[in-house]
Structure 1
Amino acid sequence: MAQADWLTGGNRRALAVERIYSVTADLVSRAGFDAVSIDDVAERAGCSRATVYRYVGGKSGLRTGVLTRSSARIAEAVQREIGELQGSERVVAAITESLRAVRADAVASKFLAEAAPDEIRRFLAGSPQLAQTATVLTGLDTAQPLAAQWTVRVVLSLLIWPADSPATERQLIEQFVAPAFASGER
C-alpha cells in the first residue's frame, strides 16, 4: 500500500515548513533544544533528513524558526491583553503580560532555561524585530530605540531572576519602570 502524501492540500513548501516547525516545537517542549536531533524531527514529521535540510536548514534553522514562531505567539498574546491601553499603564501591562506569556510558552521558557548566556545574546542580537515589537506593544516613541531595548532588558531580567510573585513583579514595574515612561503623559 502506498504511503499518503503528507504535503497535500496547499503549497508544498509552506506545508512542509509548518509541519517541520510544529514537530520541532513539540519535541523541544518535551526534551529541550539540545536533545532534539534532525533525525528525531524527520522521523516524527514523516519525512527524510534531506527534506528537513531542504526546507528549514540544519539545527540552527530549526531553532531560529521555532523561536521566531514562539516570539510571534507571545507578541500576539500581549497585543490581545493590552488592547487600547495607553501610556505607562500600557507599558506595565505589556511587560507583565510578556512575562506571563513567555513563562507559559514551552519553547521560549525551555530556551531561556537551557541556553547558554552567549546563545541567548546571539539570538536577541540577531532579532531586531524584538525591539520593534517592544516599541509597538508598549506604545513607545519610535524615535527612542534605547527605550525599547531597555524594556526588553527589563523583561529578560525578570524572566531570569524573577521576583517572589507576579504581584511583586507588577509592583516593581509600576514603581520603577512606569515612571520612566510617565513624562510623556503630562
Structure 2
Amino acid sequence: MAEDWLTGGDRRAVAVDRIERAALALFLEHGIDSVTAEDIAAAAGCSRATLYRYVGGKPRLVRAVLVRAAGTVVARVETAVAAVPPQRRPVEAILAAVTALRADPVLRQWLIRHRSPGTDEFLAAAPELGRLATALTRIAPDDAAADWIVRVVLSLITWPLTDAAAERALVERFVGPTLRSR
C-alpha cells in the first residue's frame, strides 16, 4: 500500500507547500514557460487533478510561488525604508527592492536566468506585485502607478546600469518627481 503523501499536518497546507516547492524547483531549473502543470504534479508526487484542487492550476501557482518568494524581499525593503521620510520613500523603496532582489539567489536566478517575454509580462501584470509596490512605496492605491513601479524595478534588475550610483540618479531624476507630484 502506498504511503499517504499528505501526512504530517494539515492536509491542505501540506499539499500546497509540497506543490509550491516542486513548482519553484522546476521554475528555477527550466523557467516558468517550459514547465507544465503535469510536470509540477509529477514532481510533487500527485495527480494533475490534485494540483488543480489545491492550487488552482499553473497561473495561480506561479503567482503563489512568486508571492512566497517575494516575502523575503518585502521584509528587507521594509527594514531598509522604515525610517525614510515619506517624500523619499518611493525612490528608496524602489532602490531597496532592486538591491534585495539581486541579493536573493532564488529570485535573481528566476528573473535573470529564466527571463522571457511571457514571464516579463506576467510579472509586470501580477496584481500581487502591484499591491506590494503600493505598500512598499506608500503611494495612494493606483494600479497604473503600481504597474509602472513594478516595471521600473524589473527593468533595473534585468537591464542594470553601470553602478548603483547611476541607477540612483536615474530613479531620483525620473521616478521620484513623478511619484512625489501625485
TM-score (norm 2): 0.76
Could you tell me how far apart the structure 1 residues matched to 2:180 and 2:64 are? Answer: 36
Matches within 5 A, 1:1-186: 3-103=2-102, 104=104, 106-107=106-107, 109-111=109-111, 114=114, 116-117=116-117, 120-125=120-125, 127-142=126-141, 146-182=144-180
Aligned positions, number: 181
Deviations 1:140-182 (A, max 9, x none): 234x655434333322332342211223212322343334445
Could you tell me how far apart the structure 2 residues matched to 1:151 and 1:38 are? Answer: 30
Taking every aligned residue pair, what percent have the same amino acid on both sides?
Answer: 40
SS in 2 for 1:74: helix
Deviations 1:2-37 (A, max 9, x none): 554332333211210111101211221122223434
Contact 1:99 1:159 in 2 (8 A): yes
Could you tell me how far apart the structure 1 residues matched to 2:35 and 2:122 are? Answer: 20
Could you tell me how far apart the structure 2 residues matched to 1:56 and 1:132 are? Answer: 21
TM-score (norm 1): 0.75
Gaps of 5+ in 2: none
